[in-house]
Amino acid sequence: METKMFKTATTDLAAAAELIKKGQVIAFPTETVYGLGADATKESAVKKVFAAKNRPSDNPLIVTVANVEMVKRFVSEIPAIAEKLIANFWPGSLTIIMRYNEGALSPIVTGGLPTVAFRLPENEVTRQLITLADTPIVGPSANTSGKPSPTTAQHVWHDMHGKIAGIIDDGATAVGVESTVIDITTDVPTILRPGAVTQEALEAVIGAVNSEHRKVGADETPKAPGMKYRHYAPDVPVYMVTPDQWPAAIIWAQQQLEPVGIMATDEIIEANHLAGMDFVWSLGTDVTTANAKLFAGLRYFDERDDVETILVHHFADEGVGLAYNNRLGKASSGQYFDVEM
Ligand code: TXA
Ligand code: MG
């Protein structure tokens, strides 16, 4: 299949929306990461998304909408908690899991669950596309299953060219990690995946919130089906480096026979005289810029056949650092750099 590249002009979006209406798959930008879009009400179209991503069929998809009216096509009454979350965080990087009317969505979308994940992105291009297609679209991240989510159209092209009908190029995404996922069907609402909308921000609006992602162990069944699969993983080992460990880690890196990729903040790069060197990927100034640059760096080093190990800066477990450490923890299988290694 020939994959067409689209820009964000209205004529381009209209052409892409036509393809969605015809049951084709189009990769679309959001403010978090790029998604793989297809008509959420057409089983044959949704099946193509699973095939393109090579995604396990029991891992449900997000339904991406352009307005709240589209949610009401599947849900007879929006729960009060959801109303509050919608009023405060939509459009934005928050995905809300709620119950839907029996039979209103294909089990292919929901993995057969009685719940469905809705997301109304901040990115205007996304909303324009959905409005033009006049249908909610499924929107998993547009990567091959198990690889880092794409934050540029080029990342999507790398994983998806030849497999989908088109890609809309809106440049690099601003946030860089996927949306916060909250399940409001539990007694206490539960964060299944941390993102730019933090637990503190959610609690300020709806009161106590649990976070499932902080306690899932290997022997527990994860609440978000996606949590049980290996994620974001380059082919070579990734180690997390706490700020105090960088001097030792850099000495270790220089002693290795094969090049080691280093992903660190500008401060660490400058303090250790690494600026402008090969094998160095800047995460910018702080945890917010690091979220935006993390996946691109992992992909960059994964593509370089010479790099045999990747060392990545670990941030404090607070605020949007939780989203960052969650993704990095998966990419590294939880391994920290250690002078003994
Ligand atoms: O930022 C995002 O959310 C991006 C952009 C493209 O919108 N999308 C995204 O989709 O990250 P995906 O499919 O890669 O991640 C959605 C996560 C998966 O871990 C999935 O298992 C979980 O949400 N999920 C979806 N529906 C669910 C449900 N009904 N119950 C529990 N978890 C669900
Ligand atoms: Mg994903």
**For 83-125, how does the pLDDT look when each residue is reduced to its tens digit (9 = 90+)?**
999 999 999 999 999 999 999 999 999 999 999 999 999 999 9
The number of the ligand nearest the C-alpha atom of 183 reads 1
Instruction: Give the pLDDT confidence score for residue 171 in this predicted structure.
Output: 98
Answer yes or no: is pLDDT of 195 > 60.
Answer: yes
- Residue where the block lists tokens 């820009």: 7
Mean pLDDT, the chain, as a whole number? Answer: 95
Alpha helix (H) residue ranges in the chain: 10-21, 43-53, 68-71, 80-89, 107-110, 124-133, 153-160, 199-206, 246-255, 266-271, 287-303, 321-331
What is the pLDDT confidence band of residue 218, given thresholds at 50, 70 and 90?
Answer: very low
Q: Could you give the percent of the chain with pLDDT greater than 90?
A: 92
Q: What is the CATH number of domain 4-211?
A: 3.90.870.10
Q: How far is the CA of 60 from the centre of ligand 1 (A)?
A: 7
Domain 238-331, second-level architecture: 3-Layer(aba) Sandwich (3.40)
Q: Which two tokens stand for residue 61?
A: 């998809």
Instruction: Give the pLDDT confidence score for residue 297 in this predicted structure.
Output: 98
Ligand 1 atom 3 nearest Cα: 179
| Stated pTM of the model | 0.96
Q: How far is the CA of 62 from the centre of ligand 1 (A)?
A: 5
DSSP 106-142: -HHHHTT-SEEEEE--S-HHHHHHHHHHTS-EE--BS
Atom of ligand 1 nearest to the CA of 142: 6
Answer yes or no: is pLDDT of 338 > 70.
Answer: yes
Instruction: Compute the 3-state secondary structure of the chain and give helix, strand, coil in percent, each to the nearest 5.
Output: 35, 15, 45
Is the separation of the CB atoms in 79 and 37 below 8 Å? Answer: no
Euclidean distance between CA atoms 62 and 210, whole angstroms: 21
Euclidean distance between CA atoms 175 and 288, whole angstroms: 8
Q: Which helix (H) or strand (E) holds 171?
A: none
Instruction: Give the pLDDT confidence score for residue 339 in this predicted structure.
Output: 84
What is the pLDDT confidence band of residue 216, given thresholds at 50, 70 and 90?
Answer: very low
Instruction: Give the pLDDT confidence score for residue 233 in this predicted structure.
Output: 79
The number of the ligand nearest the C-alpha atom of 109 reads 1
Instruction: Give the pLDDT confidence score for residue 288 in this predicted structure.
Output: 98
Report the residue among 181, 184, 191, 291 best suited for mutation to probe ligand 1: largest number of ligand atoms under 8 A from its CB.
181
Ligand 1 atom 32 nearest Cα: 224
Euclidean distance between CA atoms 41 and 71, whole angstroms: 12
Phi-psi region of 319 (alpha: psi -120 to 50; beta: other; left: phi over 0): left
List the domain boundaries for the chain. Answer: 4-211, 238-331
Q: CA distances (Å), 264 to each of 6, 41, 201, 311, 315, in order?
A: 33, 43, 27, 8, 10
Atom of ligand 1 nearest to the CA of 223: 31
Instruction: Give the pLDDT confidence score for residue 320 in this predicted structure.
Output: 98
Pocket of ligand 1 (CB under 6 A): 30, 32-33, 35, 59-62, 95, 97, 110, 113, 115-117, 119, 139-141, 178-179, 181, 192, 224-226
Q: How far is the CA of 310 from the centre of ligand 1 (A)?
A: 27
Q: How far is the CA of 76 from the centre of ligand 2 (A)?
A: 28
Answer yes or no: is pLDDT of 65 > 90.
Answer: yes
Q: CA distances (Å), 52 to each of 60, 65, 253, in order?
A: 15, 21, 37
Torsion 322-327-330-332 (CA) sign: negative
Is the separation of the CB atoms in 115 and 190 below 8 Å? Answer: no
Q: How far is the CA of 205 from the centre of ligand 1 (A)?
A: 22
Q: CA distances (Å), 2 to each of 7, 11, 165, 329, in order?
A: 16, 19, 7, 36
Q: Which two tokens stand for residue 332?
A: 């590294």
Q: How far is the CA of 251 from the centre of ligand 2 (A)?
A: 35
**For 219-234, how does the pLDDT look when each residue is reduced to its tens digit (9 = 90+)?**
455 566 666 666 787 8
The number of the ligand nearest the C-alpha atom of 40 reads 1
Q: How far is the CA of 242 from the centre of ligand 1 (A)?
A: 29
Contacts of 244 (CB under 8 A, 6+ apart): none
Contacts of 107 (CB under 8 A, 6+ apart): none
Answer yes or no: is pLDDT of 323 > 90.
Answer: yes
Of the ranges 233-237, 248-252, 274-278, the best mean pLDDT one: 248-252
Q: Could you give the percent of the chain with pLDDT greater than 70?
A: 95
Instruction: Give the pLDDT confidence score for residue 340 in this predicted structure.
Output: 83
Ligand 1 atom 31 nearest Cα: 224
Average the pLDDT over each of 162-171, 190-199, 221-230, 253-262 and give the range with the smallest value.
221-230
Answer yes or no: is pLDDT of 250 > 50.
Answer: yes
Cβ-in-10-Å burial (0-12, 13-18, 19+) of 300 comes to middle
Q: How far is C-alpha 113 from the geometric centre of its chain's CA atoms? A: 21
Atom of ligand 1 nearest to the CA of 115: 29
The amino acid that residue 161 corresponds to is H
**For 275-294, how does the pLDDT look when each residue is reduced to its tens digit (9 = 90+)?**
999 999 999 999 999 999 99
**For 164-175, how does the pLDDT look when each residue is reduced to its tens digit (9 = 90+)?**
999 999 999 999
Euclidean distance between CA atoms 253 and 264, whole angstroms: 13
